[in-house]
Amino acid sequence: MLKKIPKILSPDLVQALMKMGHGDEIVLADANFPGHSLHDNVIRYDGFGIPPLLDAILELLPLDPYAEHQAALMSVVPGDPVVPTVWDTYRDIVAKHDDTAKLAFEERFAFYERAKNAYLVVMTGEEALYGNIILKKGVIKT
C-alpha cells in the first residue's frame, strides 16, 4: 500500500496512468462498450461504476489545459430517447478536480475511432447508457 493513492485504483491502473504522456487519452468505458474489440490495452474493472473511478483517477491525472476539450462523452444516437443523467455526475466530478475543464460530445462511431487511438481502455461495470468518457492527460505544472 502507498499513501494518498485512492484504494479503488489497482496497481495495473496506477502503472498505466504513470506511463501515459501529455496528450494521451484514457477511456472509462461502460459495461456495454466494445473495448476488447477496439483495443489491445484493456484493464477490467467489472463491478465498479465509473463515478468513483473517475474521481479517483482525477486525484492523480492532470487534464490537458492546452486541448480544446479535456474530456469527451459519447453522444446519444439520434432517435434514442435515453437521457444520460450520469453526464451531470461526470461534469461535477471533473469540475471538482479542474474547474476550467470542458467536455465535448462525440458521435458514437467517432467515439469508437477515438477510443482505438487511446492509450488505454478501462472496462467497468457501469450500467448507465452512454456512460463512456474519454480523458486527455495534461502536464504537471511546477
pLDDT per residue as tens digits for the range 38-58: 999 999 999 999 999 999 999
Which pLDDT score is estimated for 2?
A: 82
Which pLDDT score is estimated for 26?
A: 98
Which pLDDT score is estimated for 73?
A: 98
pLDDT lower than 70: segments of the chain:
none
Which pLDDT score is estimated for 142?
A: 74
Which sequence positions are flagged as catalytic?
Answer: 22, 64, 112
For the sheet containing 25-29, what is the strand order?
42-45, 120-124, 25-29, 133-136, 71-74, 103-106
CB-count exposure of residue 29 (10 Å: 0-12, 13-18, 19+): buried
> What pTM value is reported for the model?
0.96
